[in-house]
Structure 1
Amino acid sequence: MHKDFEEDPADAAARVLEANWTGRHTVPATGLYPHQWSWDSAFVAIGARHRAPARARAELVALLEAQWPDGRVPQIVYDIGRDDDYAPGAGFWGAATSGLVQPPVHAWAAWLVHCADPAGSAREGFLARVYPRLARWHEYLHGRRAGGVGLPVTKHPWETGTDNSPLWDAALERVPPRARTPVRRPDLQHAGTGERPGSRDYRRYYRLAETYRDAGCADDVAIGFALVCPLFSTVLAVSEVALARMAESLPDGGCGLPLPDDGGDGRAGAHEASAARLIAALDEHLWDEELGLYVALDDTTGEQVRRATVNGLVPLLLAGLPGAGNHPPGGRTERLLATLAGPGFLGGGPYLPSTSRDDPAFDPALYWRGPAWFNMSWLLLRAVRALGRDDLAARLRAHFDVAAPQGFPEYTDPDTGAGRGTRQFSWTAALTLDVLLTNEQAVVPAP
C-alpha cells in the first residue's frame, strides 16, 4: 500500500501540488516533466482553486505571460536551467517556449478559478488581466488555425494532448521516420518502454516538429499533419462560453477591447456565437453514426479518421453547456451515453480507457492506446453530472479512488487501476482534489 493512502486523499493531493510548485508555476512531475505545460497548468489551476485560489490564479497568469504575439499559448514554457532534462527542449526551438500549442482548456479553467474566489479575483483584477490574452488565444485558433470545415487544426500529435492515440496513425504514416535532430528519450527513465511511444514514432514526432520550426511556426505552410480533433474543438467551445461569462462580469464587457460586429450583443454574444459555430461544425463533420461517437478529421484529405477513442466522447460536455440548445442533435446524446456505458469503454472494465477496447490498437499499458487518464475521467464526469446521470458519474468518480493509493500516477491500467507512467503527477492530484471538494453540477457555472 502506498504511503499516501494513509493520509486524507485531499491532503495527499494538495501535498503533491505543493511539492511540484516552483514558486511561479507547477511542473507536471519533477522528473519526467520539469517545465510548465499548457493544459496541465489549466487542470492544476482547477484543482488548486479549492485550497489555494491565489496560487491557481498565479498559475494561469504565469502561463499567459508566455503568449506569443500572434496569440498562441505555447505548449511548453521552458525552465532554461533544466533544458537537458526533457527533449526536445528550448535549444531545439531556439526560444524559451515550444512553438506548438495544446487543447484550449484555459478560459474554462480561469472562469472556474474566478468563481471559487470572486473577491480575491476582483482584488487582483484577475479577469481583466487574463481575459484579453484568452480572447487573443481563441482568435488565433479561429483564424490562423481554422481548417477547411471551420474547426481548429492541430499541426502535431503533441498539440492534441493525446499524443499516441490511434487517431493520428494514418497521418503519421505520411511523415518520414527520419529526423536531423538526435532523438533523446529521457522519458524512458521514468516509464517502461511498453508504456511509451516507440522510437519510430518519436523520429516522426521530431521530423514534424523540425518541419514546423523551420517554417517559422507558420500555420499556412503544409507540413504533413493537419488534424481536427473532437476533444480540442469541444474544449474550445466550452471555453468560448466561459469567455462569455467573463465578458458579462467585467465592468466594460470585455476590458476595453474593440467590440466585434455581432449584431449588438457585445463580446459575450460574440463568444456564444463562436461556440455555436463550433458545435454546428462538430455535428456536421465529425459525427460517426456507426461508432456512436465523434471522430477526427484529416484536413489534408478531407476524410474522417474512424477510430473509437475517448476524444470522441468528450463532446458530451456540450449537451450540458448553457446555450448549446439541442446538442448533440437527433438523439446523439443518448447514443454517446450508450457508447460510454458500452463494452468498448465503461462496460468493458472498471475505468475509462483512452482507446476503445474494441479498437485493434487497444493496449492497456501503452500511452493513449488504452490506459485510463484522470483528466479524461474528469471531463466525462463533468459531462454526465450536468446531464443528471448519477450512475455514470459514480463509475467515473471511482477512478479517483485509486489516485492516492497508487501515488497519483500519470495514468492507470483501465482494468486493474494499477498506476502507470510517472508518479506524483500534478493534474492527477489537482483533479482528484477537485472531485473531492467540488459540488458543481454545471459544466460552466453561471456568473
Structure 2
Amino acid sequence: MNVTRERAAAVLAGNWLGASTVPSRGLYPHQWSWDSAFIAFGLRHLSPGRARRELRTLFAAQWPDGRVPHIVFDPATPPEAYFPGPSFWHAGRTSGLVQPPVHARAALAVHKADPDREFLATLYPKLVAWHDYLRTCRDAGGRGLVAIVHPWESGMDNSPAWDEALAHVPLATGFVRRDLQHGEAGDRPSDDDYGRYVRLAAAYRDSGYTAAGDFVVEDPGFNALLADAELAMAEIAEELGLPAAGHREAAARVEKALEETLWDSAAGFFFARDVRTGSLIREHTCAGLLPLVLPDLAVAPALLATATGPRFRLGRVHGVPSYDLTAPGFDAGRYWRGPSWSNVGWLVRQGLLRHGEHALAASLGEDLVETAVRTGFAEYADPLTGAGHGTRSFSWTAALTLDLLSEGNCDNRGFAPEPPSGS
C-alpha cells in the first residue's frame, strides 16, 4: 500500500466505531446515511466485510415505513456532542429526515468487489422498501419526483437553491449550535439559516414525520440519484435471479419526470422546483449537474456544455464548485455555497465516464485525489485555490480517494499535505 492509500486508510480506521464509520470524530460523531454509502465505496477496497457491516448497520435502523434516517445516533457518544441530538427528534436512536438514495449503488459495488449473495439478498427488500417510501410518501408534487421537506435531506444543507423557499420560515431560538465548536464560523451556515433549519425540523417532528411543512422542494440531485439507484437495483435483481424490468421502468419514469419538470432548455440546466409555488428555483448549483449519472440522459450534451462553461468551469478549477462561480453570492469557503466536495466530484466523474468524456473524467479524478491528500482529506475545498475548508480527516473524502486510486487511472504519487493554517 503506497503512502496515499495508507493515509486514506488511516482516516477510515480512525473514524471506525466498530459497526459504522463517523464522518469525523468531532463535528459529526454519529452515522450519517449517504456518508455511509460513500464510505462503503472506499471500504470495499480495504475490507469488504467492513463495507457490508457499514450498510447493514445503517439499514438496521430503517423505519417501518421504509425510510432510511439521515442520522443513526451512537449511544456511546454524549448527547451534548451534537445538536440536534436524539432527544430532539423523539425517534429513538435516529433522526426522522432522509438523505439521497445512493445506497443501492453502494451495495452493488460492494458485492462486485467481493461477491456475497447473502448480503445482497438481505439488503434487497430493505432497498425496495426505501425506494417505495420515497416514491409514494414523498411525491408531494404529483409528478413522479421525490420532494424533500428539509434542506438537510438534500445532503447539500445550505445551498443557495434553498434560500428562496426558506425565506418565509420563522427562526427557532433557544438552542446551542455545537458545530461551531469544531469548525470556523465562516465555513458553516449562518445563525439565521440554522434557526430556520431547526424550526423546520421541529415542525416536521411534531407532525409525526408525515406532514410536509413550509419547505417542499423537488431537488434534481436527489431525484437523479434515485433514478440511478433503480438502475443499480435492476442489476442487483439480476444477480439474485429476480425480475429487473420494474426497476428499469422506475428509473425511466423518474428520468422522464426530471426532464419534463426540472430541465430548462434555455439555460441548459436542471433547477430545483418549489412545490408550494410551482416555480423553478433558478440557482445554478451542483445538484443540477448530478443527472449526468444517468447514461441515457437525452440532454447530456447541453448539460455538459453548462458544466464546462463559466458557471462551473469543470476541468479548469479544483473539483466541482457547489455553486455558480459567476453568481454574486458565490462563497469559496462557506459550506455548500461555493466549495467543491469530493462526493459531488466523484459523482460527476461517474457521469462523465457514462457519457464518454474520458479525458475530462481522468483529469477530474486526478485533481480530486491530489486535493484530498494535500488538504489532509478536508471536508471541502476552495475550487479556485484548492485550499481545504471544514473539518479534516473526513471519511467520505478518504473513502472516495481510495476508490479513485483503485481504478488505476488517477495519479498515484505521494502528495505533500498543505501547511497548517497560518504557516
Q: TM-score category by the smaller chain?
A: over 0.9
The letter for the 1-side match of 2:235 is: R
Distance (whole Å) between structure 2 residues aligned to residue 144 and residue 106 of structure 1: 19
1:425 equivalenced with 2:385 (yes/no)? no
Task: Find the partner of 2:283 among 307, 331, 336.
Answer: 307
Distance (whole Å) between structure 1 residues aligned to residue 56 and residue 44 of structure 2: 14
Task: Find the partner of 1:230 among 220, 223, 231.
Answer: 220
Runs of 4+ that moved beyond 4 A: none
1:285 equivalenced with 2:261 (yes/no)? yes
The aligned counterpart of 2:150 is 156
Within 5 A, what are the aligned runs for 1:88-103?
88-94=84-90, 95-103=92-100
Superimposed CA distance per residue, residues 199-242 of structure 1 (whole angstroms, 9 cap, x where no aligned partner): 11111000000000000101xx2310111101100110111011
1:24 is paired with a residue whose SS is: coil
2:171 is paired with a residue whose SS is: coil
Give the CA deviation at 1:399.
2.3
Distance (whole Å) between structure 1 residues aligned to residue 186 and residue 258 of structure 2: 34
Give the CA deviation at 1:388.
2.1
Superimposed CA distance per residue, residues 131-183 of structure 1 (whole angstroms, 9 cap, x where no aligned partner): 0000000000000011322100101000000001011111101211134xx32
Task: Find the partner of 1:31 among 3, 6, 26.
Answer: 26
1:381 equivalenced with 2:378 (yes/no)? no
The aligned counterpart of 1:11 is 6
Distance (whole Å) between structure 2 residues aligned to residue 160 and residue 372 of structure 1: 16
The aligned counterpart of 1:444 is none
1:346 is paired with a residue whose SS is: coil
Distance (whole Å) between structure 1 residues aligned to residue 54 and residue 100 of structure 2: 17
The aligned counterpart of 1:70 is 65
The aligned counterpart of 2:271 is 295
The aligned counterpart of 2:308 is 341
Normalization by structure 2: what TM-score? 0.93
Task: Find the partner of 1:406 among 375, 399, 407.
Answer: 375
Distance (whole Å) between structure 2 residues aligned to residue 359 and residue 147 of structure 1: 30
The aligned counterpart of 1:105 is 102
Within 5 A, what are the aligned runs for 1:33-432?
33-82=28-77, 83-94=79-90, 95-118=92-115, 121-122=116-117, 125-148=118-141, 149-179=143-173, 182-218=174-210, 221-251=211-241, 253=242, 266=243, 268-318=244-294, 320=295, 324=296, 327-328=297-298, 332-346=299-313, 349-397=317-365, 398-432=367-401
Distance (whole Å) between structure 2 residues aligned to residue 189 and residue 418 of structure 1: 21
Distance (whole Å) between structure 2 residues aligned to residue 277 and residue 291 of structure 1: 23
2:148 is paired with a residue whose SS is: coil
Give the CA deviation at 1:291.
2.6
Contact 1:44 1:431 in 2 (8 A): yes
Contact 1:104 1:236 in 2 (8 A): yes
The letter for the 1-side match of 2:107 is: A
Distance (whole Å) between structure 1 residues aligned to residue 327 and residue 171 of structure 2: 24
Percent sequence identity over aligned pairs:
50
The aligned counterpart of 1:261 is none
The letter for the 2-side match of 1:229 is: D
Give the CA deviation at 1:439.
6.0
Give the CA deviation at 1:51.
1.7
1:417 is paired with a residue whose SS is: coil
User: Structure 1: which 5+ runs fail to align?
Assistant: 1-5, 254-265, 441-447
Distance (whole Å) between structure 2 residues aligned to residue 18 and residue 7 of structure 1: 16
The letter for the 2-side match of 1:238 is: D
Give the CA deviation at 1:60.
0.3
1:404 is paired with a residue whose SS is: helix
CA change 1:129–1:439 in 2 (3 A) is farther
Distance (whole Å) between structure 2 residues aligned to residue 143 and residue 393 of structure 1: 35
Contact 1:294 1:312 in 2 (8 A): yes
Contact 1:291 1:308 in 2 (8 A): no
Give the CA deviation at 1:129.
0.6
Give the CA deviation at 1:392.
1.6
1:231 is paired with a residue whose SS is: helix
1:49 is paired with a residue whose SS is: helix
Contact 2:379 2:390 in 1 (8 A): yes
User: Structure 2: which 5+ runs fail to align?
Assistant: 410-423
Contact 1:183 1:202 in 2 (8 A): no
CA change 1:7–1:194 in 2 (3 A) is farther
The aligned counterpart of 2:417 is none
Distance (whole Å) between structure 2 residues aligned to residue 373 and residue 222 of structure 1: 29
2:46 is paired with a residue whose SS is: coil
Give the CA deviation at 1:184.
1.8
The letter for the 1-side match of 2:381 is: T
Distance (whole Å) between structure 2 residues aligned to residue 435 and residue 24 of structure 1: 24
Give the CA deviation at 1:7.
6.4
Distance (whole Å) between structure 1 residues aligned to residue 363 and residue 180 of structure 2: 32
Normalization by structure 1: what TM-score? 0.88
